[in-house]
Amino acid sequence: MKKVGVAILGLGVVGGGTYRILESHREFYQKTQNVDIFVESVLEIKREKALALGVPEEKIASNIAEVVADPDVQIVVEVIGGIEAAREYVLAALHAGKTVVTSNKELYCKYSHELEAAAKRHNAGLYYEGSCVGGVPIIRTLLDGLQANGIESVVGIINGTTNYILTKMGNEGASYEDALKEAQALGYAEADPSSDVDGYDASYKLSILASLAFHTKIPLSQVYREGIASVSAEDVRYGKQLGYVLKLLAVGKNTAEGIEVRVHPAFVPASHPLASVNDAFNAVLVHGDAVGDVMLYGRGAGELPTGSAVVSDVIYAATHSENKYSPFKNSEEAEKDVKFVSDFKSCYYLRMTVTDHAGVLGKIASALGKFGVSVGELIQERNRGAGTATLVLVTHGTAESAIRNAAAKIDELDIAKVDAVLRVAF
């Protein structure tokens, strides 16, 4: 039986989960995969953490050079996170001819071109299922399950922290601030939550997934990004009244006009499958030209779910002699002939405060009409005693530039102020 030694770099949440899975499932993989995968080495600064997990002291490496020099290590698992040290360690492993498995979405998003070039030069594998959507096998699905299709769109909820916050706001009426504090208390959000709530985490993942789906490099610089920090409980409430649920969506579309890649909050119809994806769960909806819609759902983060994705790559690498690389030219920037759409089209939700007297609606409709924006749904609520009313509109499909120009025109009027603009998906 083939023996494959693994080194794990970092025993944090994902690294610890990976170690536990590999140790507890060793005999199972021997029976089901006909391969003996064993942890040969770990690199962890806090040795007590490794010992507490049950790692034998003689398997705790002192530095990356010791790991890559070990002839019994064929696969190096990078789960330390961050950029600089991770990049250095991964390149060292690849230059030594070791296959690398990583869950580091920021590293892979920003430097996959460099890492893959090193892997090819040294005939090493490079796998990254754990970098996107936790335990949901979206990367393997795109590479090995849907390759018969031209993928037309990839739309998903791919950040568990923001989904938890928006679920609390939608189901319990919590404020953004209170929902964030609860997410932090439960460990769903970091003390500095900016990577999640400002949309960076989802943007890294969308760059990776859209590149795979559309067979061309989609650099991070092309991903439009907008977070959820400015979302108010009031907008969540009005959306619910209109039959919508607010989600942070990652949207990738391959259209005749070009490729759209964007991350932003969006209202989803309550009847849509993505609307029922709650708490820290994730889901990705892929549309192929042959298969139609395929949706994958599961836990988007965590010790064992992400560890499951990492180990799936370890098993794949251990049982396949031929290395697989990106099915597109993996350069630093997009190819020159690839067009990107920045002025994308959507329906829009607008909430505004207006003076409560006759003729206001006509002036607002006129301002919208100048930019070709038409209204599909409307709610008006009087703010008692204030002489104002809250007006909520949902437009028909229109261009991003049109809605921005219309909102600016409305703000110029002395009878209205636009308080919020959000997109409406599907």
Kindly compute the dihedral angle of the four CA atoms of residues 4, 8, 13, 16, in this order, to the nearest 10 degrees.
Answer: 60
Q: Percent helix, strand and coil across the chain, each rounded to 5?
A: 40, 25, 30
Do residues 23 and 37 make contact, with C-beta atoms less than 8 angstroms apart?
no
Q: Tell me how far apart the alpha carbons of residues 8 and 42 are, in angstroms, rounded to a whole number.
A: 5
Do residues 261 and 210 make contact, with C-beta atoms less than 8 angstroms apart?
yes
Give the SS3 label for residue 295.
strand
Q: Tell me how far apart the alpha carbons of residues 99 and 258 are, in angstroms, rounded to a whole number.
A: 35
Instruction: From residue 253, give the alpha-carbon distance in Å to each of 67, 148, 214, 261, 285.
Output: 42, 18, 9, 7, 12
Task: Pick the closest to residue 392 from 206, 260, 267 (CA basis).
Answer: 267
Reduce the secondary structure of 313-333 to three states and give it as a string: HHHHHHHCCCCCCCCCCCCCC
Q: Tell me how far apart the alpha carbons of residues 304 and 299 are, in angstroms, rounded to a whole number.
A: 10
Beta sheet of 35-43, edge-to-edge order: 60-61, 35-43, 2-9, 75-78, 99-102, 126-127
Q: Tell me how far apart the alpha carbons of residues 380 and 39 are, in angstroms, rounded to a whole number.
A: 63
From the list 168, 205, 247, 253, the catalytic residue is 205
Do residues 323 and 316 make contact, with C-beta atoms less than 8 angstroms apart?
no
Q: Tell me how far apart the alpha carbons of residues 258 and 426 are, in angstroms, rounded to a whole number.
A: 19
Q: Is 46 a catalytic residue?
A: no
Do residues 282 and 157 make contact, with C-beta atoms less than 8 angstroms apart?
yes
H or E stretch at 101: strand 99-102
Query: What tokens appear for 370 in the block?
Result: 């100048």
- Residues with catalytic roles: 205
